[in-house]
């Protein structure tokens, strides 16, 4: 028997050996262009989790933004992924739904880490199939809604400067929720008369305060309000919703699919974010769950690079409103993906997420 015959014989047998998948995790520090202040926190940088999933000659890339508000950190997220490393190294990435369910079962919490892994898997799947993710989900990229650009809480002078810098965006999202709200909106209105959305980030403490502020904001050309009261105050939010005229959207009250049924009736819609849900697959389920309950859908993001924001953008044709500007708020984005032209989201055409390194 020649050596060639031996190789042929080996090829004909099923060989149990299989190349391991290679999983790389990294904590990436993203620097903010402006100090970022909302009703509950202030920061100059964010540490996000990157995951690279390498299998069968293709690498998928994902990102997750851990938030202290949800008791998550990048360090703990990376440690959690170590617990499933052996499983991921031998899993079949084509079984991505099963793989994610398994990981969700093995890791408590740490949704940002799960999000980074899920995005990396879906990027891998799209690249293997040779299609952009929006096409994998059967979506028309021209249905992507306009995105808002977010203005964090600041002095009136800096607020005016930020609003001027955001001149190309047709709709702005203004962070409120402190006792400077009137001054903030007055500063915005001294520069522009474009439509506004406001996000109180749980900042108003009573239902009466929320109604008073929202009725005033309606007169200032505000078209919706996000999370007026703390997340647990669902009955109080229903009381507020009966007394105001603009949609009330849940963000901090809506993290996972199981949160949505109890929000129907108290909120008009939900703000779905990949980092809260644990990735693209769960966010997709949340969008359809909200629809089944007759609710509107906003697709939002955290302070994230183009990796996670582009992943969300691929689902944005399913949303009524998009708030996908996290990558525009940072100074050192390592990738380029979704672009924004006068508020319009332009999805990349490349396979998977369609990212290129900057």
Taking CB under 5 A as the binding criterion, the range among 4-12, 77-85, 192-200, 230-238 that sits at the site for Mg ion is: 192-200
Helices (runs of H) and strands (runs of E) counted in the chain: 14, 15
Q: What is the spatial distance between Cα 89 and Cα 242, in angstroms, rounded to a whole number?
A: 52
Residues 148-167 as x/- pattern, contact with Mg ion by CB under 5 A: --------------------
| Residue facing Mg ion at closest CB distance | 251
Residues 2-31 that bind Mg ion (CB under 5 A): none
Q: Is 226 in the site for Mg ion (CB under 5 A)?
A: yes
Residues 32-71 as x/- pattern, contact with Mg ion by CB under 5 A: ----------------------------------------
C-beta closer to Mg ion: residue 91 or 301 = 301
Taking CB under 5 A as the binding criterion, the range among 120-128, 152-160, 178-186, 194-202 that sits at the site for Mg ion is: 194-202
Q: What is the spatial distance between Cα 298 and Cα 323, in angstroms, rounded to a whole number?
A: 7
Taking CB under 5 A as the binding criterion, the range among 176-184, 208-216, 220-228, 235-243 that sits at the site for Mg ion is: 220-228
What kind and span of H or E run contains 219? helix 207-219
In the complex, the smallest distance separating the C-beta of residue 295 from Mg ion, rounded to whole angstroms, is 16
Q: What is the spatial distance between Cα 64 and Cα 47, in angstroms, rounded to a whole number?
A: 9
C-beta closer to Mg ion: residue 125 or 301 = 301
Residues 233-272 that bind Mg ion (CB under 5 A): 251
Backbone conformation region of residue 284, classed left if phi is above 0, alpha if psi is from -120 to 50, else beta? alpha
Tell me if residue 140 falls in helix, strand or coil: coil
Q: What is the spatial distance between Cα 303 and Cα 328, in angstroms, rounded to a whole number?
A: 9
C-beta closer to Mg ion: residue 251 or 333 = 251
In the complex, the smallest distance separating the C-beta of residue 15 from Mg ion, rounded to whole angstroms, is 52
C-beta closer to Mg ion: residue 163 or 303 = 303
Taking CB under 5 A as the binding criterion, the range among 79-87, 102-110, 198-206, 215-223 that sits at the site for Mg ion is: 198-206
In the complex, the smallest distance separating the C-beta of residue 69 from Mg ion, rounded to whole angstroms, is 10
Taking CB under 5 A as the binding criterion, the range among 6-14, 16-24, 136-144, 223-231 that sits at the site for Mg ion is: 223-231
In the complex, the smallest distance separating the C-beta of residue 82 from Mg ion, rounded to whole angstroms, is 31
C-beta closer to Mg ion: residue 55 or 295 = 295
In the complex, the smallest distance separating the C-beta of residue 156 from Mg ion, rounded to whole angstroms, is 22
Size of the site for Mg ion (CB under 5 A): 3
List Cβ neighbours of 345 (8 Å cut-off, separation of 6 or more).
Answer: 144, 145, 146, 147, 313, 316, 322, 324, 338, 339
Residue with tokens 């793989």: 99
138 close to 127: Cβ distance less than 8 angstroms: no
What kind and span of H or E run contains 160? helix 156-165
C-beta closer to Mg ion: residue 154 or 251 = 251
User: Which two tokens mark 330?
Assistant: 């940072």
C-beta closer to Mg ion: residue 102 or 223 = 223
In the complex, the smallest distance separating the C-beta of residue 41 from Mg ion, rounded to whole angstroms, is 12
- Which residue from 199, 202, 236, 325 is in contact with Mg ion, where contact means CB under 5 A? 199
What ranges make up the beta strands (E) of the chain?
22-38, 41-55, 58-64, 149-151, 172-175, 196-199, 222-226, 248-250, 269-273, 296-300, 321-322, 335-336, 339-341, 344-346, 356-357
End-to-end CA distance of the chain: 54
C-beta closer to Mg ion: residue 127 or 276 = 276
CA dihedral 120, 124, 130, 132 (to 10 degrees): -10
Q: What is the spatial distance between Cα 338 and Cα 313, in angstroms, rounded to a whole number?
A: 7
Binding site for Mg ion (CB under 5 A): 199, 226, 251
């Amino acid at each position: 028997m020649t050596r060639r015959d031996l190789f042929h014989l080996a090829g004909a047998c099923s060989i149990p050996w299989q190349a391991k998948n290679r999983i790389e995790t990294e904590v990436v520090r993203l620097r903010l262009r402006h100090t970022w202040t909302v009703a509950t926190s202030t920061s100059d940088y964010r540490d996000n989790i990157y995951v690279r999933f390498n299998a069968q000659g293709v690498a998928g890339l994902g990102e997750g933004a851990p938030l202290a508000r949800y008791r998550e950190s990048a360090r703990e997220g990376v440690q959690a992924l170590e617990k499933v490393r052996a499983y991921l190294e031998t899993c079949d990435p084509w079984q991505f739904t099963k793989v994610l369910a398994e990981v969700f079962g093995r890791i408590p919490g740490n949704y940002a880490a799960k999000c980074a892994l899920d995005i990396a898997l879906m990027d891998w799947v799209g690249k293997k199939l040779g299609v952009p993710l929006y096409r994998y989900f059967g979506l028309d990229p021209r249905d992507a809604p306009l995105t808002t650009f977010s203005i964090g809480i600041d002095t009136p002078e800096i607020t005016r400067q930020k609003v001027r810098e955001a001149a190309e965006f047709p709709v702005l999202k203004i962070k409120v929720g402190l006792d400077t709200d009137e001054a903030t909106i007055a500063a915005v209105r001294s520069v522009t008369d474009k439509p506004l959305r406001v996000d109180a980030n749980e900042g108003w403490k009573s239902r009466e305060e929320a109604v008073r502020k929202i009725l005033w904001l309606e007169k200032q050309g505000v078209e919706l309000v996000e999370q007026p009261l703390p997340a647990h105050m669902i009955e109080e939010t229903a009381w507020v919703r009966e007394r105001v005229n603009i949609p009330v959207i849940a963000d901090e009250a809506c993290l996972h699919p199981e949160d949505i049924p109890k929000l129907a009736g108290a909120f008009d819609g939900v703000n779905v974010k990949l980092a809260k849900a644990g990735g693209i697959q769960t966010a997709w389920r949340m969008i359809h769950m909200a629809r089944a309950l007759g609710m509107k859908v906003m697709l939002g993001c955290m302070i994230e690079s183009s990796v996670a924001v582009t992943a969300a953008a691929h689902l944005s044709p399913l949303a009524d409103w998009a708030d996908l500007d996290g990558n525009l708020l940072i100074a050192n984005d390592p990738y380029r993906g979704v672009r924004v032209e006068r508020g319009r989201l332009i999805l990349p055409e490349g396979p998977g997420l369609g990212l290129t390194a900057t």
